[in-house]
Amino acid sequence: MSLKLPVYMDHAATTPCDPRVVEAMLPYFTERFGNSGSRNHRFGWEAEEGVDWAREMAAKLIGSTDKEILFTSGSTESNNLAIKGAAYMYEKAPAGSKNRGHIITAIHEHKAVLDPVKRLVKEGFEATFLEPGEDGLITAEMIAKALRPDTILVTIMWANNEIGTINEIPAIGKLCHEKGVLLHTDATQWVGKMPTNVETDNIDLMSWSGHKMYGPKGVGALYVRRHRPRVRLQALQDGGGQERGFRSGTLNVAGIVGFGKACEIAMNEMAADAIRLGRLRKKLEDALTAQIDVSKINGHLEKRLPHITNISFGFVEGEGLMMAVKNIACSSGSACTSASLEPSYVLKALGVGDELAHSSLRLSLGKWTTEEQVDYAIGEITKAVKKLREMSPLYDMHKEGIDLSKVEWAHH
Amino acid sequence: MAYGPKIIDHYENPRNVGNFGSQDSMKSDKRIGVGLVGAPECGDVMQLCIKVDEQTGKIQDAKFKTFGCGSAIASSSLATEWLKGKSLDEGLAIRNSDIVQELSLPPVKIHCSVLAEDAIKAAIADYKKKNGQAVEDHDHDHAAAGR
C-alpha cells in the first residue's frame, strides 16, 4: 500500500473526526434539528434526548454525574468560565478594589488560561505564576509553597500541549481540598486519552474539548463539582439561562451529540490506543535520537502523554525544518512559526535555551497513525536535519569545536 | 507559512552553499571576506563569504551558510547569486528591499532580507579591513525592518 501524503502528525493541535462521530451527528442537522430548549414538541424533545445522552457519556468518561457537565464552545470558553466565573464568585473584595483574591497558575499554561488570569490581575486579583523545572512538571509541593490564606483558585493543566508532560493533578487536588481552595484543570490534552475520575483525582473544575479527541470543533465541556464542595460560578454570558444558567445560548445540539459520541468511543478505545501510540512514539524517538547527534527530547521522559514528542535538533531552525519535511504536518517552537515572532514560551519555561527552542519539532500521533507513517517520518526528518546542517554555519562551528555560547553574536 | 515559488525554489535548491575553508583558514586568506550576522537565540544566523579577484577587484565567488527559516535561507542564497561578478561598491548597493521584491517576501519575513543585506556589508567590510581599505560606516536605512 502506498503512503498517502502529507502525513498528519499534529494531533495535539486537532484530530480528525471519527466517522462514527460524524454519523451520530448527522441526523441532528436535518430530521432532529430541534432546539433542545423547546419543551412542548417532539422536535425539542428529540434534540434534548441527544443532549442528555451526550451529557451522560461525558459524565461517564470522567466519573462525574450528568448534572456536573456544562457544554461550551470548547476549552477556551470552559477555561474562561471556570477561572473568571470562580474568581468573581469567590472574590474577597468587590470589583474596583484591590486584593480581591489570589490565584495560582504556571507560566507554561496555555494562553487560554494565562490570559484570563492576567485579566483578573488587572481587575484587582493577584496571581502566582509557578515556574517548572527543566522536566516541565508542576508538583503538589510547588503548589503548597505558593498557597496563601487568600488563595481562592489553583488552575494547572493536566498535560501540557507542547511537550505532553503530566502534572501531579490528583496530589494537587488533594492539597487544594485540604486547604479549601478550588482546583481547575485544563485537561484538553488529557481527557479522552488517559483515564480520568474527578472523584479520585480530586478535581473541582475541568475543561476539555471535542476536537482533541476525534470529536467536532466548536464544542467542549466544563465539569463543575456539585458536592464537597459545591462549586458556584458567576456566568459570563447572559441570556436564556441554558446550562443551568451558567452558559446561556441555544445548545449546539449536533456538536454536543458528536462530543458525546467521541466520549463514548474514547472510553472503550483509549487504553488500547495509548499502548499502541506509546510504542510508536518510542520507535520514533529512539530512531531520531540515535540517528541525529545533538538532539534532545524536551520535558520529563516518563511523566508525559504517550502520543506527543517534542524534540530539539541542534543547529537547525524549526521553520526551515518544517519546510524540509513538508509532507509531514507537525509544529515547531520556532519563533518563525508563531505570530509573535518569539520562540515557544513553554520551552523557555523549561530553561531550554532560545537557540534550542527555535530548533524544536512537536510530533503528535493519533488513533490512525500507522507504523509506516512513523517510518516515513523518521526517514524524512533525518534527511532534512542532515541537509539543513550542511547549510548551517552553527553546525560547522560545532564541528570545529567552537563554543557557540562564547561567540559574540551581532544581535539584530 | 505559505511561500511564493521563488522562495521555495531557493530553499529547495539553494545556490552556493558552503564556505572557503575553516574559520581559521578564511581568516588568514586576504582574498576572502566573511560576514557573520544574527544570533542563534534569535533564530537566524547567516554566514556569507566572498572571494575577491585581486586583479579585477570583483567578487569572483560567494558562498553562504544559514541557520534560519526558509526565507532566511532563500535571502542568503539570492544574495550570493547577486554578488558574483559584482565590484565591492556594486555589492554594497544591494538593498534589502531588492531582496524583498525579488523573492516576494511576506511582511513578517522582511527581517530576513535585512539580515542578508547586513551579511553582505559585513563580508565586504571584513575584506576591506583585511586589505587595509577604509570601511565606510553604512547607515541602516532598511525599508521597513521586520523587527
Of A3, A9, A71, A39, nearest in space to A262 by CA? A71
pLDDT at A355: 84
Out of A208, A242, A266, a domain closes at: A266
With bands split at pLDDT 50, 70 and 90, how would you rate the model's confidence at B145? very low
Given the residues B25, B27, B42, B104, select the one marked as catalytic.
B42
pLDDT at B147: 36
The CATH number for A325's domain is: 3.90.1150.10
Report how far apart, in Å, the C-alpha atoms of A370 and of each of A17, A189, A218, A375, B18 are.
Answer: 17, 21, 27, 9, 38
Chain B residues lying within 8 Å of A392, measured CB to CB: 65-67
Instruction: Compute the residue count for chain A.
Output: 412
Q: Are residues A260 and A274 in the same domain?
A: no
With bands split at pLDDT 50, 70 and 90, how would you rate the model's confidence at B146? very low
Q: What is the per-residue pLDDT across B3-61, written as a single tens digit (0 to 9) for each? A: 899 999 999 999 999 999 988 899 999 999 999 999 998 889 999 999 999 999 999 99
The answer to whether A404 contacts B40, with C-beta atoms less than 8 Å apart, is: yes
Position A348 in a domain: yes
Position A80 in a domain: yes
Q: Are residues A236 and A277 in the same domain?
A: no
Residues on chain B bordering chain A, Cβ-to-Cβ distance under 8 angstroms:
1, 3, 11, 14, 17, 19, 22-23, 36-47, 65-73, 108, 111, 114-115, 118, 122, 147
Q: What is the per-residue pLDDT across A70-85, written as a single tens digit (0 to 9) for each? A: 999 999 999 999 999 9
Of the partner residues A336, A394, A396, the one whose CB lies closest to the CB of residue B69:
A336
Q: Are residues A238 and A277 in the same domain?
A: no
With bands split at pLDDT 50, 70 and 90, how would you rate the model's confidence at A175? very high
Residues in CB range of B114: below 8 A, 6 or more apart: A412, B96, B142, B145, B146
pTM, two decimal places: 0.93
pLDDT exceeds cutoff 90 at A162:
yes
pLDDT at A354: 84
pLDDT at A86: 98
Q: Are residues A28 and A43 in the same domain?
A: yes
Position A407 in a domain: no
Position A408 in a domain: no
Tell me what the mean pLDDT of segment A235-257 comes to. Answer: 97
pLDDT exceeds cutoff 50 at A185:
yes
**Number of A–B residue contacts, CB under 8 Å:** 98
pLDDT at A353: 85
Distance from CA of A333 to the nearest CA of B (A): 11
Nearest Cα residue in chain A from B66? A392
> Complex ipTM, two decimals?
0.89
Position A139 in a domain: yes
Q: Are residues A206 and A289 in the same domain?
A: no
Number of domains in chain A: 2
Position A283 in a domain: yes
Q: Are residues A110 and A254 in the same domain?
A: yes
The CATH number for A48's domain is: 3.40.640.10
Chain B residues lying within 8 Å of A411, measured CB to CB: 39, 42
pLDDT exceeds cutoff 70 at B138:
no
A17 a catalytic residue: no
Tell me what the mean pLDDT of segment B59-88 comes to. Answer: 96
Nearest Cα residue in chain B from A384? B12
Position A379 in a domain: yes
Question: CB-based contact (8 Å) between A323 and chain B?
Answer: yes
B112 a catalytic residue: yes
With bands split at pLDDT 50, 70 and 90, how would you rate the model's confidence at A405? confident
User: Nine-digit cell at A134?
Assistant: 527543566
Out of A215, A243, A266, a domain closes at: A266
Q: What is the mean pLDDT of chain A?
A: 96
The boundaries of the domain holding residue A317 are 7-13+270-399
CA dihedral for B91, B96, B101, B103, sign (positive or negative):
positive
Helix or strand run (H / E) with residue A202: none
CA-based Rg of chain A, rounded to a whole angstrom?
A: 23
The answer to whether B111 contacts A354, with C-beta atoms less than 8 Å apart, is: no
Question: CB-based contact (8 Å) between A335 and chain B?
Answer: yes
Q: Are residues A146 and A57 in the same domain?
A: yes
DSSP output for A249-304: S---HHHHHHHHHHHHHHHHHHHHHHHHHHHHHHHHHHHHHHHSSSEEE-S-SSSB
Out of A266, A300, A324, a domain closes at: A266
Tell me what the mean pLDDT of segment A32-60 comes to. Answer: 97
With bands split at pLDDT 50, 70 and 90, how would you rate the model's confidence at B1? low
pLDDT exceeds cutoff 80 at B144:
no
Position A48 in a domain: yes
